[in-house]
A and B are shown apart, each in its own frame.
Chain A
Amino acid sequence: MYRILLLSVCPVRNRALHVYIREACLRSSKCDIVSLPICRATNGGVFNAFGTSSVIHCEKKEGPLPPKEENSALKDGEQKVAVKMVGEKVIELQDYVKMVAEQSEQRVGVKMEGVTESVKIEEIPVKMDSEKMEEIQTKTALLPIPEVKLEDVKESEEMKEIMLASKTEEVKQKLEVTMAVVKEGETIVEIQVKTEEVVDVKKEGDKVVEEQMLEVNKEEQQTEAPPKDEIQPVKSGKESLLDLLGAMKVEVTNKRKFKALKVQRTSETAARPMPAAMESTTSMFQEATGMADVPAPAPSETLSPELVAAVSAAAATLPSQSQAESELLKKLRQHEAIGEAQKNGDVNNIGVIIADMKVGKKPNGRQNARPANQIRFDEDGRGYTHDRGITAELDGGLRRRRSLFSGKRLNIFTPSTEPEADTDIAVPTLWDMELANQVALSTNQMPRNGFEEMIQWTKEGRLWQYPINNEAGLEAEAQVPFHEHVFLEKHLEEGFPRQGPVRHFMELVVSGLAKNPYYTIQQKREHIAWFRDYFQQKEEVLKEAEVYLN
């Protein structure tokens, strides 16, 4: 039995993973990485299925568990363990989801979505393949909270009675009916939750049976008529379910906890479509397990008159008839609405839910959780960085910066668009020279080959500049036009006699200078000036000799 249970759980999980991965692919490639830990979680979960200790360990690992988990953790029996295992895996999945989506203010909400989503994932293959009762039973354990929330105290009293009935011998006689009740997931959960004061309800057996009938009717009304062959697995699982119910221990639940949860959830439901999704999973489950015993009659308002009649009949058995009736009808309408919503939207649900999930990054936190970081200094003295595991890659992918420059800036300076007027183009100070010297020294490399050495020498001026220019080094002379060099007679205008041998001599000097390529113009002028001085000094002598004619 247990084995069948577990074996059947595995394919369900795998199919669920397929669905999940397919959905994840739609979102982005990064989600593939998310699915890896889930696979791992699945495997680990299956391996640990028989070990209660590991289950408990898993639970401890969890932070705030949904109350259902606490309940089921207390149950005896391997079935419960297995049921719990699925729950654990869901929570593991949820944990990984949480790892990705860790924005602290949204933590609760994300977790809820995670639960919803994973529950749904498990439901889909169940419905498609019409799996066995055990699996269905398994799933039912996962749907506690929304129903609990919606009950009021009155109803929960009734449910207590149901619970009692399921434990008594009378119920066994009407197996079909009981099964139908049992198969409704919420009922089981409600039974588990609301059995605080069992003792005083034991006597009301008949009423209980009626209530159960009513429950069955309710379910039939809401849901589509399932194929007949589904009844077969249901029946085969009857015995075990009865045992299971019998093995259930009555446990005390703290009502205040539920109230607190209710408050928390109502605040969230305003913003999210999530509770609806959770409800719909419930009804989807019901859809799968519903029986075709009772035909669905015409509606009154939205509900069929027969149903209404059944409700009033049931309510008549209760002390406060009208109140009970209205409560039951309200409840039924609710279910009906949800069933409609489910019919319309169940295909897209996972997509919607996943789309609703917020994938965020947690600012720091995780960094310190990497164990490899602690081994920073090892014997080779340089230390290892953490090996890039899955989570690290995930982190890296999420926190990757676009570029070095794309971040915020200091916002202190305002870039001026107009070109700066270089006011201090003046003489470089000693500081500037020192800085230039430092920079030059720091990059001063010895030449690596002959070419570089020659480049360096050329810069120093030891080699000819290329292209070869035979006037290199005569840059100052290049400014002087050629006639300055060639026509030097104008320098003879002053200080020399107009005619005579001196004049003649000086003309020869000038023509010689005009052909001299080596003297600069300045040197030529100086040359002529020297003669001028000389002849002026010798003026007396020359006049005596009558060769100095002015």
Chain B
Amino acid sequence: MHNHHFQDPTAPHYMFQDDPYLTPRTSAEFKLYSLSQESGRMAANHIVNKNPKFFQKDFAEPHIPCLMPETMELCIEEVSEAALLERIMLRKVKAAVDMYDQLLQAGTTVSPDASNDLLDLICLYGDRDPVQDDKPEAEDVAQEVQEEGRRRKGRLRRASDLVRIVWRENNNAERIFNLLPERDTRAYSALIRGMVKYGAHVKAFNTYTDMLNNRLTADVHTFNALISAAPEVRERYTEKWDLIVDLLNQMNEQKVKPNLLTFNALLKALRRCGSLARAQSLHTLSEMKAMGIAPSLASFDHVLGIFYKAASPSQGQTDILQEVMTEVAGRTFVAQDPDDVNFFSSAMRICLDTKDIEAAYKVHDLLRVGENWRMLGDSFQQSIYYGRMFNLLCMMEHIDVVLKWYKELIPSLYYPNPQGMRDLLQALDTDNRLDMIPQIWKDIRRMGHDNKSDLVDELLSLMARDKHSPEIQESFAVCALDVKSLYEQGQGARMALEWTATAMTNITSVLLAAQKKQQAWDMLKLFKTKNRVPSEELMEEFLASIKSSNDPQHAMELVQISASFCLPSTPKLAERVLQAFELSEEQKTILSELEVSTEVSE
């Protein structure tokens, strides 16, 4: 039922429905409000966990564990193995290492399981306490939420997180590993995985050789880590691939069954193997089929990445996307690999690059199957996906279809950026639906893009460019006045738009075309106050408009204004006014003076 639930395209996301005030209108607001909800939850959790003694009353029957505070403080103070295990469970890396050292100093032997757990912990976190911004004692749930919050902020932050932690020489993991009385596969595995995770690729391979020398066999996780590290330790494509094949052969010799993550790591490594990758990736897929392992979305994502390199000159194999899409069409996917969520946005990128609208529809259909929407990734990836899709639609589809999608996507799922709105304007222009512009302008205002001067300029020039029917001109004029008011009142909190000569010219000519003489006249005066110079074409338009209403007084004024701007066309203008209008003698003399004076001044 939840899947077939009618999705209201005009409604904001469900998470904002409890407070209409918090309905986001822009992507920035969306980010802010959704994060604020997250952070509110996180803060509440933090308070509960910090002060468990105030939240002991268990009023729920039956008991609801997730509502109860979780123990996060260390309870066991004495030096014992139980204390060590507790510290490991609470993921306190430093405290656990200290406890281990104390245990060794006291001469107690630590059980192999406990020391392996400790090694896992250290390697997993790279010998650091898990990163927690301001609350070093935040417990598990809060930490997850924090991580999620961090992810939502975008890519940069994540990348910097990865860069920060590196595998240091002789860190606690290596030290404790050397202290172990007997090193089994699990200890080696933890060490290798930690090394790969934190960038010590060569060292990982050395450790692996060491492990083989000790007549141990690796487990599948070790091989997965090594395969993903293989492209880092070789220079040439063929060498990389040879190393990977070598690892796979060793897996087979050691009777290690590969799993999905093995093949995903293999495909991911192949993305960095250049020209070899195309054929080998297909062989890998066949191997997966032979092994009875169904590829996940991440596998397909890697294959697509191999076949559609950005900026590669030849896109000969355009049918790979089609083949992948026929393969996955109608299937429901469950996340099995953290990379699964990249599939949709990268598939849409390929559709955009190849301008393949049919494939884009297929990708979108796949997204609607079952729970596949969960694989779209975080809001950042979602906006990329929808942005690409909308861009493609604007480029390839008829405007009616574009507007259908616009209505369906825009307020509820996607907040377009200024570029997206400009694409839409161009699509309107292409299909001669400029009459939609006032509506679009409302949306632009709502989405907070009305302070992007290039977007506003483009909108105005589209409105001013052609002649339309009177009704449309009327609506354009309203829209133009709206834009004008934006320029005037913008001085407040938001960045005010700077008047440009083209914007003013466009607004004025839209007003003129809509027969709004008074407002147009106001605009003309505004030129003066803002120290902008109107174009000669605009003066011509003005003259034509005045001529149609036969108003010699205004014509006089126009010529005078033109003279005050020192426009070179003033004499011509004066001459035409002299011919076209019934003027009094006095006016005639003024005009002829103007005619002469400007000529002289030239």
Residues of A within 8 A of B (CB): 367-368, 370, 373-374, 376-377, 382-386, 395-396, 400-401, 403-416, 420, 424, 429-431, 434-435, 437-453, 455, 460-462, 472-474
Contacts and interface: CB of A to CB of B under 8 A. Distances in A.
Contacts of A376: 311, 313
A442 to B, nearest CB: 5
B324 A404 contact: yes
Given A462-B66, A472-B62, A450 B14 contact: yes
Contacts of B64: 460-462
A400 to B, nearest CB: 7
Given A434-B124, A444-B148, A384 B291 contact: no
A438 B124 CA distance: 13
A456 B163 CA distance: 35
B289 to A, nearest CB: 5
Given A401-B323, A408-B283, A443 B318 contact: no
A409 B62 contact: no
B224 to A, nearest CB: 10
B547 interface: no
A407 B148 contact: no
Contacts of B292: 415
Nearest to A407: B282
Interface string B368-380: 0000011111100
Given A404-B282, A407-B283, A448-B2, 16 more contacts: A376-B313, A396-B319, A401-B323, A403-B323, A404-B327, A410-B284, A412-B248, A440-B335, A441-B144, A441-B148, A442-B338, A443-B335, A446-B14, A448-B13, A452-B2, A461-B66
Contacts of A424: 219
B147 interface: yes
A118 to B, nearest CB: 30
B352 A413 contact: no
Interface string B330-368: 000001111011000000000011110000000000000
Contacts of A443: 335, 340-341, 374-375
B377 A408 contact: no
B314 A451 contact: no
A404 B322 CA distance: 10
Contacts of A416: 257
Interface of B: 1-2, 5, 7, 13-15, 34, 61-67, 88, 117, 120-121, 124, 144, 147-148, 151, 186, 190, 193, 219, 221, 245, 248-249, 251-252, 257-258, 280, 282-287, 289-292, 303, 311, 313-316, 318-320, 323-324, 327, 335-338, 340-341, 352-355, 373-378
B121 A404 contact: no
A446 B2 contact: no
Nearest to A395: B316
Given A441-B148, A441-B151, A408 B248 contact: no
Nearest to A435: B338
B67 A442 contact: no
Contacts of A437: 144
B161 to A, nearest CB: 13
A403 to B, nearest CB: 7
Contact of B34 (A401, A434, A446): A446
Contacts of B2: 448-449, 451-452, 455
Contact of A447 (B15, B144, B245, B340): B15
Contacts of B13: 446, 448
Could you say which of B7, B287, B340 has the most chain A C-beta atoms within 10 Å of its C-beta?
Answer: B287
A424 B189 CA distance: 14
Q: Mostly helix, strand, loop or mixed at chain B's interface?
A: helix
Contact of A474 (B62, B124, B291, B340): B62
A431 B124 CA distance: 7
Contacts of B121: 430
Contacts of A447: 14-15
Could you say which of B318, B320, B338 has the most chain A C-beta atoms within 10 Å of its C-beta?
Answer: B338
A532 B352 CA distance: 81
Nearest to A400: B319
A401 B286 contact: no
Nearest to A461: B64
B286 A408 contact: yes
Contact of B117 (A413, A430, A440): A430
B314 A441 contact: no
A448 B8 CA distance: 11
Contact of A439 (B318, B336, B354): B336
Contacts of B251: 412-413
B287 A412 contact: yes
6 contacts: A382-B353, A385-B318, A385-B354, A410-B245, A449-B5, A461-B66
A384 B313 CA distance: 11
Given A444-B148, A449-B5, A462-B64, A415 B14 contact: no
A376 B62 CA distance: 65
A447 B18 CA distance: 13
Nearest to A441: B148
A410 to B, nearest CB: 4
A107 B287 CA distance: 36
Contacts of B193: 431
A473 B60 CA distance: 10
A431 B338 contact: no
A376 B121 CA distance: 49
Nearest to B63: A473
Contacts of B117: 429-430
Contacts of A435: 338
A364 to B, nearest CB: 9
B338 A438 contact: yes
Given A409-B290, A442-B338, A443-B375, A368 B120 contact: no
Contacts of A385: 315, 318, 353-355
A410 B257 contact: no
Contact of B291 (A373, A413, A450): A413
A415 B258 CA distance: 10
B270 to A, nearest CB: 11
B282 A473 contact: no
Nearest to B339: A442
B325 to A, nearest CB: 10
Contact of B314 (A368, A382, A384, A409): A368
Nearest to A447: B14
B477 to A, nearest CB: 32
Contacts of B335: 439-440, 442-443
Given A415-B291, A445-B373, A446-B34, A451 B286 contact: no
A519 to B, nearest CB: 14
B314 A367 contact: yes
Contacts of A403: 323, 327
Q: Which 7 A-B pairs have the closest CB atoms?
A: A473-B62, A409-B286, A451-B2, A443-B335, A409-B287, A430-B120, A410-B287
A429 B120 contact: yes
Contacts of B151: 441
A543 to B, nearest CB: 43
B286 A407 contact: yes
Contacts of B284: 409-410
Contact of B221 (A410, A431, A444, A450): A431
A441 B282 contact: no
A6 to B, nearest CB: 41
Nearest to B255: A416
Contacts of B378: 442
Contacts of B327: 403-405
A160 to B, nearest CB: 55
Given A367-B316, A376-B313, A412 B245 contact: yes
Contacts of A401: 319, 323
A409 B283 contact: yes
A441 B285 contact: no
Contact of B124 (A430, A439, A444, A448): A430
Contacts of A474: 62
Could you say which of B64, B292, B320, B377 has the most chain A C-beta atoms within 10 Å of its C-beta?
Answer: B64
Nearest to A457: B66
A435 B298 CA distance: 15
